[in-house]
Chains A and B, each alone.
Chain A
Amino acid sequence: MSNNRDDNILVRIRGLRFARGERMIFDGIDLDIERDKVTAIMGPSGTGKTTLLKLIGGQLRPLSGSIEFDGEAIHSMSSSRLYAVRRRMGMLFQSGALLTDISVFENVAYPLREHTRLSESLIQKLVLMKLEAVGLRGARDLMPSELSGGMARRVALARAIALDPDMIMYDEPFTGQDPISKGVLVRLIRRLNDAAHLSSIIVSHDVQETLEISDMIHIISHGQVVGSGTPEQVMASDSEWVRQFIHGEDDGPVPFHFPAADLQTDLIEGSASC
């Protein structure tokens, strides 16, 4: 189907530019996601990590540049082709994005019922297995509104892996998890990746977990990739950007603040206006 089949790059991003209103979110990003690897995307809050996942999933269109999934350009596909390709992607949303009118069990069963003709008993088995993997088999009859944030995220993970996709995108899988479930999730993501020949993209702020789990790390800031490498390389990096981010220093090239006028002017204007 494609000339890149035997190439080990699953997602190839070239010269990606994307803007929200006037603000450039990405300004010429080149990035490769390799097959069968866990790739982490890190970066300060608000740099556009979620946006990047949505671009890969074809939910947003780039201003220019290209995103190829398995050799096919995502944004020039017909809509039916795009839906076919999405079957091979799983995505764990930052918010969980569970369907609120059906139970946990039905949520996980949903993609199976939509895309396969499996028998009810097989669906039952599959769903319970997926829920078992995230430690929530006992919660199958709860409604999404009865779950905590962390539990909802784990149910969403069970749903994302229900169809055994080729690639899973995890948006902040560790946020809101206690240390025990964090550990379980780290191992689960690793195990899924290695056992099922998945490719994983993890977006996360949790430096420790991310260093532990990933094969490759890309750090994004200011619309650019500011550092890439294996965890060891990143740890040892002498780039200021990377050091600041990995070690959580507040001084450095990565600003903590969203772009704004300086505080003094804002405060003075603020007091004058009321």
Chain B
Amino acid sequence: MLNSLAALGRRGLNMIQSLGRASLLLLNILRGQACLLSRPSLVVRQLYSVGVLSFLIIVISGLFVGMVLGLQGYYILSRFNAEETLGVMVAASLVRELGPVVTALLFAGRAGSALTAEIGLMKATEQLSGLEMMAVNPVKRVLAPRFLAGFLSMPMLAALFSAVGVFGGSLVGVGLLGVDDGAFWAQMQANIDWNKDVMNGVIKSLVFGAVVTWIALFEGYDAIPTSEGVSRATTRTVVYSAFAVLELDFVLTALMFGET
């Protein structure tokens, strides 16, 4: 009993310590952003490996999520003779929720885990120490550009996801189930609000981008420098990112849509 209490206490302390280290790291990463102005090529390279290489998984997932939304939405809406609003339903669910959230989850699995493994292995093979001894600050040179790339990629990937999803929804709704083409798009245009829907979605994905990339970089940088340590850190990145994204989504949604 006492032992398990002590263990619980130790875990709590460890968690608070990690949180402290993670916050310090974030602070240093943010400080490192200034240096990136003079070296945009570092960010561009990371945008490619973090963002561009995630294109395919985002496009395919977006398409299928949109198609499923089209199907499910049609079955429900047609019961109330409201098939014309299918476009609104598909677009709103994607832009407000599924776009940012599913993109962030996919991003954590595709890019976040890769970031953690890369940084963790650089630590394990002393490449980070090597940089330090070459008087190159690894936080500024290695972590900062990756953070910015993750932060910038996420809204773009989420937008892509939503766009492809809307297309998938129209494919099923209009193409397959015979919803009126004009009504589908006109209703969507009339009822999706730029600020309330689109901008809120963008804010969500900026937050998710920062959080997921932060978790991924911290787990890699803080990993125990062995193959087992890195593999555990990679798992943690995916798990923690998923938790963080889903919880933050609830909080953000409550803040954004709560008052209306």
Contact call B127/A99, Cβ cutoff below 8 A: yes
Contact with B along A78-104 (1 / 0, CB 8 A): 010001101101110101011110000
Q: Answer whether residue A59 sits at the interface, using C-beta atoms and an 8 A cutoff.
A: yes
B137 interface residue, CB < 8 Å from A? yes
Q: Return the CB mask of A56-85 against B: 1 if under 8 Å, else 0.
A: 010100000000000000000001000110
Determine if A241 is an interface residue (Cβ-Cβ < 8 Å). no
Q: Let me know if B135 and A100 touch, CB within 8 A.
A: no
Q: Say whether B180 faces chain A, with CB atoms less than 8 Å apart.
A: no
Hey, which chain A residues are within 8 Å of B137, CB to CB?
Answer: 79, 83
Using Cβ atoms and an 8 Å threshold, which residues of chain B touch A54? 129
Contact flags (1/0) for B133-158 with A, using CB distance below 8 Å?
A: 11111000100000000000000000
Q: Are A95 and B126 neighbours in the complex by a CB distance under 8 Å?
A: yes
* Chain A interface mostly: mixed
A115 within 8 A of B: yes
Tell me the total A-B contact number using a CB cutoff of 8 A: 51
Q: For the complex, what is the distance from the CA of A115 to the CA of B137, rounded to whole Å?
A: 12
Nearest A-chain residue to B130, judged by Cβ: A97
Q: Among B125, B126, B130, B135, which residue has its beta carbon within 8 angstroms of that of A83?
A: B135
Q: Would you call A91 and B133 a contact (CB within 8 A)? A: yes
* Distance between B19 CB and nearest chain A CB, rounded to angstroms: 22
Q: Is A110 a contact of B135 with CB atoms below 8 Å?
A: no
Q: A93-B126, A95-B125, A100-B127 are in contact. Are A114 and B134 (CB under 8 A)?
A: yes
Q: Does A111 contact B (CB under 8 A)?
A: yes
Contact residue range for chain B? Answer: 10 to 19
- Tell me if A93 and B129 are in contact (CB < 8 A): yes
| B141 closest partner in A (C-beta) | A114
Q: Which residues of B contact A89 (CB under 8 A)?
A: 133
The count of chain A contact residues (Cβ–Cβ below 8 Å) is 24
- B132 contacts the other chain (CB 8 A): yes
Select from chain A the residue with minimum beta-carbon distance to B131.
A99
A59 near B133 (CB under 8 angstroms)?
yes
Q: How far is the CB of A151 from chain B (nearest CB, A)?
A: 16
**List of B residues within 8 angstroms of A115 by Cβ:** 135
Known: A97-B125, A97-B127, A99-B127. A111 touches B134 (CB 8 A): yes
Bound state CA distance, A110 and B131, in angstroms?
10
Which of chain B's residues 99-137 have a Cβ closer than 8 Å to chain A? 125-127, 129-137
Docked CA distance A86–B127 (Å): 16
Partner among B130, B132, B133, B135 whose Cβ is within 8 Å of the Cβ of A99: B130
CA distance A79 to B136 in the complex (A): 11
Residue of A nearest to B124 (CB): A95
**A236 smallest CB distance to B (angstroms):** 36
Contact: A93 with B135, CB < 8 Å? no
A86, B134: Cβ atoms closer than 8 Å: yes
Complex interface: chain B residues within 8 A of A87 (CB) = 135
Chain A positions within 8 Å of B131 at CB level: 99
Q: Which residues of A contact B133 (CB under 8 A)?
A: 57, 59, 86, 89-91, 93
- Chain A's closest residue to B132 (CB) is A59
CB <8 Å contact, A59 and B135: no
Contact with A along B44-59 (1 / 0, CB 8 A): 0000000000000000
Assembly CA distance A84 to B134 (angstroms): 10
In the bound assembly, the distance between CA atoms of A89 and B136 in angstroms comes to 12
Instruction: Name the CB-closest residue of B to A87.
Output: B135
Point out the residues of chain B lying under 8 angstroms from A93, CB to CB: 126, 129-130, 133
A97: contacting residue among B126, B135, B136, B141, CB under 8 A = B126
Nearest-CB residue, chain A, relative to B142: A99
Residue of A nearest to B134 (CB): A111
Closest to A54 in B: B129
Q: Is the CB of A84 within 8 A of B135?
A: yes
Closest to A99 in B: B127
Q: How far is the CA of A93 from the CA of B134 in the complex (A)?
A: 11
- Measured in the bound complex, the distance between the Cα atoms of B124 and A100 in whole Å is 12
In the assembly, what is the distance between CA of A98 and CA of B126, in Å? 8
CA distance A87 to B132 in the complex (A): 10
- The smallest C-beta distance from A129 to any residue of chain B, in angstroms, reads 18
What is the CA–CA distance of A54 and B132 in the complex, to the nearest angstrom?
11
CB distance from A192 to the nearest CB of B (A): 17
On chain B, the residues within 8 Å of A99 by CB distance are 127, 130-131
Q: In the bound complex, what is the Cα–Cα distance between A111 and B135 (angstroms)?
A: 8
Q: Using CB atoms and an 8 Å cutoff, list the residues of chain B in contact with chain A.
A: 125-127, 129-137, 141
- Provide 13 A-B residue pairs closer than 8 Å at the C-beta atoms, listed in order of the A residue: A59-B129, A59-B132, A59-B133, A83-B137, A86-B132, A97-B125, A97-B126, A97-B127, A97-B129, A99-B127, A99-B130, A110-B134, A114-B134
Given contacts A91-B133, A98-B130, 18 further A-B pairs with CB under 8 A are A57-B133, A59-B129, A79-B137, A86-B132, A86-B133, A87-B135, A91-B130, A93-B130, A95-B125, A97-B127, A97-B129, A97-B130, A100-B127, A110-B134, A110-B136, A114-B136, A115-B135, A159-B134
